[in-house]
Structure 1
Amino acid sequence: MYRLILVLLLSACAAAPTQVAVGRYRAPDAPMYSNAVMDHNRLIGQWSQVAAFGGEACKPGSAEISKSGAGLQIRYRLCESGVEMAGAGAMPAENVGRFNVPGQPGPWWVLWADADYRTLVIGSPNGRLGFILNRGPFPPDRLKAARDILEWNGYDTRRLVVY
């Protein structure tokens, strides 16, 4: 009898799992951090999409980042939240690792870039998008690191589709 009471008391004290709102992939109350020491010029080049939230409904895409006199430019076609999104234009930085991208449901925050800028983990504070861009081979250790970063920033990685 005492054991049953103890089990019931302990289960009542357990923290409830964080809920993620429908249409969002991260908990709204979770802190989120962008990469504060990145070199924006190292983002220049061709990127392939290797994972996305809601990505089972469309094919993986790509993004090309270039530089002009006005700053970074982007041209993309990506699977985001199960919808193919495409756009092009200026990609102004609102802060280090935080960009306004034309046609997007929120700013892109670079949550992580590996040391050689081969993998980027992108998220948005509103939780409406999250995906992984890569160039070259995408080994399991970088996938694990990317998943860990997404989880640390409040994303429910059970909903992440890896292509």
Structure 2
Amino acid sequence: MYKDSIAVQTEDFDIAGLTAQIRVNDASNGAIVTFTGIVREMASGPGLEAMYLEHYPGMTEKALQKIADQARERWELGNIVIVHRIGKLMLNENIVFIGVGSAHRVAAFEAAQFIMDYLKRDAPFWKKEITSTGEHWVEAKQTDLTAAENWKK
């Protein structure tokens, strides 16, 4: 039986440790794909000092599990690991980790991208940018919404 590991947390995560979780009790993997999102300066302009992320406890974890379940409906997958951080995050800190195991690389790559695309659209996170000139909440990007919609084709 495959396992989904989903966490929303303030503390940083260990990429190697999370990748090892994908292998636990699963010798059927021919591929493991991981994605790590990192705080970077935004295209909206220089001056980003930090980001602040909030979520809806309980609902967020359920939304992430639903996304993992949807990925399992599309591809034959092994273990899935999703970790998303909340709180104040500085430049170059980890934000999100997505890890997927599968017997085949194409399924692992596609499932990891699908999970990230749906997370950006469907998971109840709110992001505030903290810049040298002030703070502002960030709206969902049309490109993120379009990326998730493209999986319906």
Q: Which bin holds the TM-score, normalised by the shorter protein? A: under 0.3
TM-score, normalising length: structure 2 = 0.27
Choose between structure 1 and 2: higher helix proportion.
Answer: 2
TM-score, normalising length: structure 1 = 0.26
Higher relative contact order structure (alpha carbons within 8 Å, sequence separation ≥ 6): 2
